[in-house]
Structure 1
Amino acid sequence: MNVNWAALGEVFIVGLVSVAALVALFATGIRGVSQRVAARAQGGTGAGGLALAVVCFAACCVLVLYGLFLIISR
């Protein structure tokens, strides 16, 4: 049995980058929600924070669904 180390390394790197991007998007969405709460506490609308959160969480959903599609389609 031979192990294709180059392919294994490639899968590891792609997985690591993908997870880091997904976590960064989710954390940015959480920060947007936090900005909205802070703005509303000060009497503002917080529309910018809400828009940021919606975009980031939508991107997270798209990435997760795309990953599931890649897994299921094979």
Structure 2
Amino acid sequence: MKIDWAALASVFGVSLIATVALVGLFTLGIVGLSKREEASTRGGSAVLTTTGAYACFALCAAAVAYGIFLIVA
């Protein structure tokens, strides 16, 4: 049995980058929602932070849906 080490390293690299990106996006969404109340008490616009947080969550959901699509297809 021969292992294609280049392909294995490629899959590992892409998986690592995708995981870090998804965790980062989800973290930004959580931080955005937590800053919403702080922004409204300071007199700032809470709409922008809420929209950004929901955009991060939508991108996370789209990435997960795309991954499931790749697995099923």
What is the TM-score with the length of structure 2 in the denominator? 0.91
TM superposition score normalised by structure 1: 0.90
How big is each residue's C-alpha offset from its partner over 1:20-69, in whole Å with a ceiling of 9 and x where there is no partner? 110110011011101112223x1645111101111000000000000000
Report whether the alignment pairs 1:33 with 2:33.
Answer: yes
Report 1:16-31 matches (<5 A): 16-31=16-31
Aligned pairs, number: 72
Structure 1: which 5+ residue stretches go unaligned? none
The runs of 5 or more residues in structure 2 that have no matched partner are none
Check if 1:52 corresponds to 2:52. yes
RMSD: 1.2
Q: Which residue of 2 aligns with 1:9?
A: 9
Runs of 4 or more, structure 1, over 6 Å off, are none
